[in-house]
Structure 1
Amino acid sequence: MEIVNFLVENGPWSWIVAGLVLLALELVLPGGFLLWMGIAGILTGIITLFQPLTWPLQWLIFGVLSLVSIYAWVRLTRGRATQTDRPLLNQRTEHFMGREVVLDQPIVDGFGRLTMGDTKWRVSGPDLPAGQRVRIIDAEGAVLRVEPV
């Protein structure tokens, strides 16, 4: 019961401390939403410092500020494409689209092999003899789809 009395007596500071705790938790559990809830808690504390409010109204302000700020953050960040100088990083097969290479092994029953750089790749396509020049047209996982040139 003493905790409740302490929170009632120090209402605005309780919100500010709770907001700071949420901000600290954001450092441990990153994800973004605790940041905005922490800011909403601090703002609720600042509002109640200057304008005393009942507890239900304080919780309503905290909830509304949290939801609005999280919604705005999601809308602004989720639709934005990440700018990079290497857009195909970790997408090795995307580099090969349209490249023409020579088959090392014949394509038999739809599958064969070819070498690009220091890597042997499994390829799929129509049956073709070894030495045939092919163009890479698609990739399904680590299997390159080819067509004869």
Structure 2
Amino acid sequence: MDVLISALEGLNLWWWLGLVAALLIAELLTNTTYLLWPAAAALVTALIAPFTGWPVELILFSVLGVGFLIVGDRYVKPRLKSGADSGLNQRATYLIGERVTVVKGFTEGRGRVRHGDTEWSARTEDGADLAKGSSALVTQVDGTRLILKA
């Protein structure tokens, strides 16, 4: 028991910062966000450690760890996941609402259009055929195909 108490008395700012670093590295390897919250709790505990003793540090770390986990999982994680559909690295999503020019006449509602210096495969929403040189509005993106409204 004396060994455990002497180890606990050795808790200090640097021990907590080491725990923060270990948890963040583990979070990078797992990419789950579950280890992010104990890392945040350990960081707050590290800031308080120079002013308190080990019992307060352990209680603070436990309470903050559980609290951050609940709040983070319920409120922060869904917002992080909703950012996955932001269109980042999906160039075609930025074309929604843009006007494109038909470069090859449509047959059976399918053809090719140009926006800037790039040609795209496209189809019309209603299956209508568009003439070469006409203009259309991009309403959706389906993979690499643009969906147009005449």
Q: TM > 0.5 between the two?
A: yes
Once residues 88 and 20 of structure 2 are traced to their aligned partners in structure 1, the CA distance between those partners, rounded to angstroms, is 33
SS at match of 2:3: helix
In structure 2, what is the equivalent of residue 35 of structure 1?
A: 39
Q: Structure 1: which 5+ runs fail to align?
A: 82-86
In structure 1, what is the equivalent of residue 115 of structure 2?
A: 116
Q: In structure 2, which of residues 118, 142, 145 is the aligned counterpart of residue 143 of structure 1?
A: 145
Percent same amino acid among aligned pairs?
19
Deviations 1:55-89 (A, max 9, x none): xx9765532231123445567755779xxxxx865
Deviation at 1:121, TM superposition (A): 0.5
The count of residues paired between Structure 1 and Structure 2 equals 134
CA contact (8 A) 1:11 1:48 kept: no
Once residues 40 and 101 of structure 1 are traced to their aligned partners in structure 2, the CA distance between those partners, rounded to angstroms, is 53
TM-align CA RMSD: 3.7
SS at match of 1:144: strand
Once residues 133 and 143 of structure 1 are traced to their aligned partners in structure 2, the CA distance between those partners, rounded to angstroms, is 16
Question: 5 Å matches for 1:1-149?
Answer: 5-14=2-11, 18-26=15-23, 28-29=25-26, 30=28, 32-39=36-43, 42=46, 43=48, 47-49=52-54, 61-72=60-71, 77=76, 90-125=89-124, 126-131=127-132, 132-148=134-150
Q: Which has the larger radius of gyration?
A: 1
Once residues 57 and 24 of structure 2 are traced to their aligned partners in structure 1, the CA distance between those partners, rounded to angstroms, is 25
SS at match of 1:14: coil
Deviations 1:10-40 (A, max 9, x none): 4232365542321222453445324224236
SS at match of 2:9: helix
Change (3 A) 1:133 1:36: closer
Once residues 97 and 17 of structure 2 are traced to their aligned partners in structure 1, the CA distance between those partners, rounded to angstroms, is 54
TM-score for both structures, normalised by structure 1: 0.61
CA contact (8 A) 2:112 2:120 kept: yes
If each structure's helix is expressed as a fraction of its own residues, which one has the higher value?
A: 2
- Structure 2: which amino acid aligns with 1:14? L
CA contact (8 A) 1:138 1:144 kept: yes
Change (3 A) 1:138 1:60: same
Q: Structure 2: which 5+ runs fail to align?
A: 81-85
